[in-house]
Amino acid sequence: MFPATFYSFAVRYPNFMFEKLLFKKKFSDMGEGLRRTKTALSHFAPFLRPRKRGLFLALVLLLLETGTSLAQPWPLALILDYVIGAEPGTSTLPVSVSGQVLLVGIVALLVVISTASRAVTAFRRYLLSKLGQETVFDMRDALYRKVHDLGLDYHGARRTGDTITRVTSDVKEVRSLLVDSVVEVGSSFLILIGMLAVMLWMSPSLTVLALVTVPFLFLAVRRYRQALIERMRVVRAKEGAIASVIQETVTGIRAVKIFARENDEIDRFRKESRDSLSASVDSSLIEAKFSVLLGIVGGVGTALVVYFGTRQVLAGNLSVGGLTVFVSYLGLFLSPLWALSRQVNQIGKSLVSGERIIDLLTAEPTVKDSPDARPAPVLEGRVAFEDVHFSYDDEAGEVLRGMYFEVEAGSRLALVGVSGAGKTTVTSLLARLYDPQGGRVLVDGEDVKRYTVKSLRDAITFVPQEPMLFRATVAENIAYGKPGASMEEIEDAARLAGADEFIREMPEGYETLLSERGESLSGGQRQRVSIARAMLRDTPVLILDEPQAGLDAEAADAVEENWRILTAGRTTFVIAHELRLVKDVDKILVLEDGRVAEEGTHDELVSSGGLYARLYALQEGGRDPVL
């Protein structure tokens, strides 16, 4: 409420001095600013609603703080007028009290007012800090949930570091908007009203002089605000770019070192960091100029009041204590005006972060539960694709072009084809990582869209070509797909995957803490832990993407023996680079140009002399086609 009200007034005030056409344009700009502020506050209101009582208490404390601020100059005025007796006609109280007793009483009153003011301010700041941190917690929780709700299409189109920045540092800026800025604007507004009322009561003429500087403050706000917002947009974008560079480099540190690209990555980081530095320095320079201008305007206003106020004291129209109180109030009056001016700029900066957060909060996942979706029952695993069309990007063209095939429950299916034929895309659509633009994907005769996304994915296990391990114990990594699994189940799965022996040789066995992404293990060991995870999960549908990738010959033979146990009774999709591994599957689909070009068993396809036979012959002859 307060930011919009003040912003409207601050922008509108100086525009009356300009020509009509220019006024209309700037009025339109002001309206746009109001709409941005209201939109941001409406999106963030749910995060403040649970804290209504705390915010109400903060408002009460704000009123008390305003009262103590108004009372602070009066003890000094009483001492000047009634103890020192600076104005002989006005130094006598209605009751007879000795000067010493009066002085002690006023000093005691000064201590009470000062203590009360500090105590109220300290408690208000603590309360607002607590409310702000709780708001940040809820907002980050909502953003993190949204990150998980959004699909791979959203994350693939954005830099990871930028998303991280929105969840971390942008939230802090919005906290400033929701709690600090709103309360400071409210505090400044209340103090302004109180000060203005008392100043008008004390001396209307001096009050008018004090108000002469106000239009110049609003002109300063109008001049610097938009420039500051534009620079902050650049700063926030560059901070996201910096986070992305760091994330990409750390994630790919192995490739960086293998190709000796450390200096190139440092240069890339320095470029993004230098751009951020330049924008931040420009922003600080704008704020510094603004602060100097506020000081000049405030100094001129104070000088006018002191000059004409002193003349009134000399003329006997105002006491020394009265002038002291008035000058003190003028300082207190200008201080919230400056605070309001600064907060208009701060709100503008926070809105930049707010808009970035709103963009994430309001993003709609392309894959989500339909209104009539239901939890999937215990699935048998029959899978069918009916005239499925899919493209990752409209401009890139279709990856799948009317794909048809059927897989019986419990059968093993191999997907074969050159790179880009759509092998991985098929399995991604089955797990609803994406939805097709046309056609249907069926499981047990039902469109997968009729099932809730979570229940469908709970029925599918995926073993990726590049294992994803976490900074957790070996046991926790194996049990990632089945929380609550017993240690006996974990060890059985590891034995079936050929991982038990090397795990037991580790310093703490199954309780050994792995490094991030499992970098403390070899590539083959990571793959076997990933396969053990799949064996433990026990789902009706299994997807294996190069299940023997990264394994040495001995480990590959061990996995080849045990993967038949893993796939028994499960509908299994195998994406295989080495065609010798798919000789024993029930059916092979050969994909070409987004369609099923051939299907059959290994022997049938080899004897047919088609694409599969050519690919197999190339591998057997020592030439490895790109699959």
Q: In the structure encoding, which two tokens stand for residue 404, read together?
A: 């048809």
pTM of the complete model: 0.67
Average of per-residue pLDDT values in the chain: 76
Distance between CA 253 and CA 188 in Å, rounded? 51
- Find out whether 601 and 589 touch, Cβ atoms under 8 Å: no
Taking residue 622's Cβ as centre, other Cβ atoms within 10 Å add up to: 6
Residues in the chain, pLDDT under 50: 1-30, 86-91, 626
CA-based nearest residue to 468, from 526, 427, 509: 526
Between the CA of residue 263 and those of 44, 252, 519, what are the distances in Å?
43, 14, 23
CA-based nearest residue to 460, from 562, 346, 347, 381: 381
User: Where do the domains of the chain lie, and which CATH numbers do they carry?
Assistant: 2-361 (1.20.1560.10), 369-459+542-551+574-627 (3.40.50.300)
Q: In the structure encoding, which two tokens stand for residue 97, read together?
A: 């009290």
**pLDDT confidence of residue 91:** 45
Distance between CA 339 and CA 218 in Å, rounded? 12
**pLDDT confidence of residue 480:** 84
**pLDDT confidence of residue 545:** 82
**pLDDT confidence of residue 26:** 43
437-482: pLDDT as tens digits: 899 999 998 999 999 988 888 888 888 777 778 888 888 888 887 8
Distance between CA 585 and CA 573 in Å, rounded? 10
Distance between CA 197 and CA 260 in Å, rounded? 71
Distance between CA 201 and CA 196 in Å, rounded? 9
DSSP structure class, residue 471 = S
CA dihedral 518, 524, 525, 528 (to 10 degrees): 110
**pLDDT confidence of residue 442:** 92
Question: What DSSP string runs through 92-141?
Answer: --SS---HHHHHHHHHHHHHHHHHHHHHHHHHHHHHHHHHHHHHHHHHHH
**pLDDT confidence of residue 278:** 77
**pLDDT confidence of residue 440:** 92
